[in-house]
Amino acid sequence: MPADNVTITESIAEELSNLLAKNNFSQVAVLVDENTQEHCLPLIQKVLPSDYTLAETKSGEVNKNLDTCAHIWQQLTEQHFDRKGLLINLGGGVIGDMGGFCAATYKRGVAFVNIPTTLLAQVDASVGGKLGIDFNGFKNHIGLFQEPQQVLIDAQFLKTLPEQELRSGFAEVIKHALIQDLVYWNKLRSVALTNQPWVEHIRHSVRVKSWVVDQDFREGGLRKILNFGHTVGHAVESHFLESATPLLHGEAIAIGMIAEAQLSIRYASLSSEEAEELEDFILAIFGKVAIPLDSLEAITHLAKQDKKNQQGTILCTLLDKVGKACFDIPVTESAIREALEYYRNL
């Protein structure tokens, strides 16, 4: 079952209108970037209060930082936004993570609603209450756990996305199947990217993630299985973030899943045949990213800053087999570098 605060709808304006009618919010603010202001805000604007506040930020992971948070807090402060107000985060994962973080810390916390507008945000960031921002180049280094009052998901927003963004979100769909559902893995890899049933994928991913988060909200154990591909993937994403060719989150996680499949052969019980099957499918969808040889050391170093690590030991989530993940598996820096070299030499 989806989390109690997640609603998957085909009528986003009606759902939002009902939510606003049932609550006595003193003020309403909507956080947007330049893309969601143009393409997504018109889908809900008619049900917003006439005096709502439009809070604006720039798109992109590179802007998910304290400086942007200060800008958002300043906009709310200038509007005398009080603790009975509601912040609606209209956008992808960056808006949801950062907007929720700003809401949870502004005046010790105001209510917020997330309306995820990308596939990535709908299948992943929509569930679990993880909020955060990047710090000194480390992804989601500052943050907290806080559930939104409601998450409203409508697949019609996907029509506003370029194919690259859909592909990025598909990485998390793949991950959810790999860690929890062999049958679904076989199903989704039998269909071309352009024909994928996105609403079905959203429901499946929300169901998988909701079940895991319900068992372990603060990521003390089981929830760590959701991090498959993310130790290496986050390091790759952080490394490329300020380069001339930054990667979308899902593009980096695709690299991470291939690399961590190799680690799974070495440190868990994934078969080489399953790893090759995973690798072939991901490469067919995402292609291969050129990683310069002199970047491997820096990426490996970034993996040492992963939040799952303990006492200087890198801890990975790996696969025992497709459909079954294991977590807190110690791996060496040299093994991560070798996995990256394997990907680089494909």
List the catalytic residues: 108, 130, 172, 209, 219, 223, 227, 230, 234, 249
**In terms of Cα–Cα distance, which of 113, 149, 116, 146 is closest to 131?**
146
Beta bridge partners of 131: 144
- The Cα-based distances of 282 to 134, 289, 293, 324 in angstroms read 27, 12, 22, 18
Q: Is the Cβ–Cβ distance between 271 and 304 less than 8 Å?
A: no
Tell me the β-bridge partners of 30. 54, 88
Instruction: Specify which residues 115 forms β-bridges with.
Output: 90
Whether residue 197 contacts residue 204, with contact meaning beta carbons closer than 8 Å, is answered with no
Which residues are paired to 325 by β-bridges? 319
CB proximity list for 22: less than 8 A, separation 6 or greater = none
Structure tokens at 226: 């959701």
Q: Is residue 291 within 8 Å of residue 344, measured between CB atoms?
A: yes
Would you mind telling me the total number of residues written for the chain in this entry?
A: 346
Cβ–Cβ < 8 Å for 264, 225 = no
Specify which residues 6 forms β-bridges with.
151
* Closest to 203 measured CA to CA, from 5, 4, 8: 8
Amino acid at 206: V
Token pair in block for residue 85: 């107000």
Task: For residues 232 and 100, give the distance between their C-alpha atoms in angstroms, rounded to a whole number.
Answer: 26
Three-class secondary structure of residue 242 per DSSP: coil
